Amino acid sequence: MEWIQAKTILSGYAENNNWFGVNYNMNLYKGCNHGCIYCDSRSDCYRVENFDQVRGKENVLLILERELRSKRKTGVVGTGAMSDPYNPYEKEHQLTRSALELINRHGFGTSIATKSNLIVRDIDLLKKIAEHSPVLVKMTVTTADDSLCRIIEPNVSPSSDRLNAIRRLSEEGIFAGILMMPILPFIEDTEDNIKSIVELAHQSGARFIYPAFGMTLRQNQRDWYYGKLDQLFPGLKEKYLAAYGNAYECRSPRAKELWRCFRSGCDQYGILYRMGDIIRGYKEAYQVDQLSFF
Ligand code: SF4
């Protein structure tokens, strides 16, 4: 892994962020080598050259400590939007683990998106943070089928390991659930897949599933994805071109039926799926505690 220097790490404060109620964002690594064929972060607009090459930000912990100390408001620090914080190098270099130590020490909460079961290594720290601040773990699961998962998300833990990680986190009292997106049109958009994910989520103790029945495609990401379709699913690119042309939003033609079966499964098991409910679910206890001081 190469090292680069960071200038800043935390984004500005967002009061009522409607994306999981995250107040600050950070990326400890640049690029990701998990190889998901649909990855949006390789789009031109993000300007990450050689996306598949992971670069660690060498001075990031010094900067993070300084920035956490200087913030007037604590809040939830999100990570995992542009690269997976639990890439294979994290095992050795522990930037994410060290950042969580700082987040804990300075009284912030955290919201982590990942596809790697390496996150269970940090359960001890997540529990410490949860003693004073909200903690949310979003594990991306797009298919219940490990063999399909190894084709479309080849370099990271298969879905079954991710669900096991959710089970471990949930058993330890961490608010964990599933980011069920994207659901790739003509590949993953079957009722069987959606029902199986909901069932497995229930068995793993997932508190929520946040879904999207389709995908988005932007400049550069689209070329990469279509190249992968030609290689892995011959003939499918033509189906995409006929259905979506150059559209950004590529909604599954079965989105309505999928939503119905998803919602009825979640309702049956008491799994949250609306953003407002998920945010309330992982933050509410802390807001009540804060109010009780006054
Ligand atoms: S884990 Fe996330 S950032 Fe990494 S390749 Fe997959 S979609 Fe992209």
Phi, psi (rounded to 5 degrees) for 279: -60, -45
Q: Is 261 exposed, middle or buried (0-12, 13-18, 19+ CB in 10 A)?
A: middle
Cβ proximity of 127 and 173 under 8 Å: yes
Q: What are the residue ranges spanned by the domains of the chain?
A: 2-293
The whole-number pLDDT of residue 47 equals 83
The whole-number pLDDT of residue 290 equals 52
| Atom of ligand 1 minimally distant from the CA of 83 | 3
Q: Is 186 exposed, middle or buried (0-12, 13-18, 19+ CB in 10 A)?
A: middle
Closest CA to 177 of 271, 96, 245, 285: 271
Q: Which two tokens stand for residue 195?
A: 């029902």
Dihedral sign computed on CA atoms, order 260, 261, 264, 269 = negative
Name the residue of 27, 30, 34, 138 whose CB sits within 8 Å of the most ligand 1 atoms, as the mutation to test its pocket: 34
Q: Which residues pair with 139 in a beta bridge?
A: 114, 178
From ligand 1's centre to the CA of 66, what distance in Å?
Answer: 28
Cβ proximity of 137 and 117 under 8 Å: no
- C-alpha neighbours within 13 Å on the C-beta side of residue 151: 15
Q: Tens of pLDDT along the chain (294 residues)?
A: 999 999 999 998 999 889 999 999 999 999 999 999 999 998 877 888 899 999 999 999 999 999 999 999 999 999 999 999 999 999 999 999 999 999 999 999 999 999 999 999 999 999 999 999 999 999 999 999 999 999 999 999 999 999 999 999 999 999 999 999 999 999 999 999 999 999 999 999 999 999 999 999 998 899 999 999 999 999 999 999 999 999 999 999 999 999 999 999 999 999 999 999 999 999 999 985 554 443
Q: Which residues pair with 113 in a beta bridge?
A: 138
d(CA 130, CA 111): 11
From ligand 1's centre to the CA of 156, what distance in Å?
Answer: 9
What's domain 2-293's superfamily in CATH? Aldolase class I (3.20.20.70)
Q: Which two tokens stand for residue 253?
A: 């033609």
From ligand 1's centre to the CA of 36, what distance in Å?
Answer: 6
From ligand 1's centre to the CA of 291, what distance in Å?
Answer: 38
Length of the chain in terms of residues written: 294
- C-alpha neighbours within 13 Å on the C-beta side of residue 220: 13
| Atom of ligand 1 minimally distant from the CA of 35 | 5
The whole-number pLDDT of residue 291 equals 47
Cβ proximity of 54 and 28 under 8 Å: no
Q: Which residues pair with 201 in a beta bridge?
A: none
Vertex 149: Cα angle to 192 and 97 (nearest 5): 120
